[in-house]
Amino acid sequence: MVSIELPSWFIAVFAFAFGSAWGSFANVVVYRWPLELSVAHPPSHCPLCKHPIRAYDNVPVFAWLWLRGKCRDCHAKISPRYPLIELLFGLAAVAVAWRTFRGDGAMMAAWASLAHAIVRFSVVFALGVVALIDLERTEVPNWVLLFAVAPLIAAGVLPPIAPSVDLVTGLAGAGVGYFGLRLLFIDGVKLLIGRPGMGLGDAHVLLVVGALLGPSGVLFSLGAGAVQGVIAAAIAAATGRRIGADDVDDVEDEDDDELDDQHPTDESEPEEAPVETQTPTDAAPPETDSASGEHSPDARSPMKLPFAPFLGLAAVEYLLGADVILARWLEP
């Protein structure tokens, strides 16, 4: 059976169920990994009453709806952030599957299109988790590099379909993404102004992007990501909001017990933190008055814009159709 013969409803339903389930796991990783906790043990439980989450209360997206955003046992509030993340990953999986089964791999055997779709979604999953961690902790985990392996293996085994690449192009893209960013924007900027212009984690993200999308995907992600980052920063500045975490070192110094009171252990467990237990990241840092040396409570530190989320967003845009738009726009 070729991919085009599969029913559209089957592709959409299967992809959403698959993606939202991984979105549920993403919630676990985003919370537990920065705290160096196991993502497998203990099983999901409410942080307030410690009662294990029942299997039928752990269904992505829908469980939050029928529980009305509360723990079944102690009625602690569950943040809407968790079903929202599950929904986003579910929709991302549908978009990836649609591009693969109805676009690039439409005339390919269904099993081959499925393999391509899984590889593509694995990279989208990694970029999504990294984006959430970077927004919350201003940190890019090194394990993101492992997700460059899947597209490189697929490129050597499966027939390439756009915008996926063959093995040589994937290796070239990974090299351009990592060494290009490092030489120009990390080491190069450091020689000029004494400090790197970007974090090494951003180079790791582009290595993964390059392995899947090749050099053209890297260039698009870097350019479009920078533009979208600037726009987001301008909107944040105009509205008085902030993008990403501040004073991360203070957060990391908090005891795990205190953090457990403020954050859920996974997607089904959260109780929203009361105002009096907020961490230092929730409070504006004091400003020193140049004349008196006293601190003003109204001042805020300069915003540190995490770049990995915008690199990942641009890469997903390229994967889902920006490459086609650019190719048609650049045609003579």
pLDDT tens by residue, the chain, 332 residues = 899 999 999 999 999 999 999 999 999 999 888 888 888 887 777 777 778 888 888 889 998 888 888 888 888 888 899 899 999 999 999 999 999 999 999 999 999 999 999 999 999 999 999 999 999 888 899 999 999 999 999 998 998 898 988 999 999 999 999 998 888 888 888 888 888 877 889 999 999 999 999 999 999 999 999 999 999 999 998 988 878 765 444 333 333 343 344 344 444 444 333 333 333 333 334 444 434 444 444 445 555 788 999 999 999 999 999 988 888 887 76
Instruction: Locate 214 and state its tokens.
Output: 């090749």
**What are the Cα distances from residue 326, in Å, to 113, 176, 193, 323?**
24, 20, 35, 5
Which amino acid does the sequence have at 140?
Answer: V
Global model pTM greater than 0.85: no
Helices (H), strands (E): how many in the chain? 13, 2
3-class SS of residue 313: helix
Q: What is the pLDDT of residue 274?
A: 35
Q: What is the pLDDT of residue 30?
A: 92
DSSP designation for 287: E
CA dihedral for 49, 54, 60, 64, sign (positive or negative) = negative
3-class SS of residue 107: coil
Q: What is the pLDDT of residue 302?
A: 55
φ and ψ at residue 81, rounded to 5 degrees = -60, -35
User: Which residue bears the tokens 């403020």?
Assistant: 262
Q: What is the pLDDT of residue 270?
A: 40
Q: How far apart are CA 26 and CA 37, in angstroms?
A: 14
Per 3-state DSSP, what percentage of the chain is helix, strand, and coil (rounded to 5)? 65, 5, 30
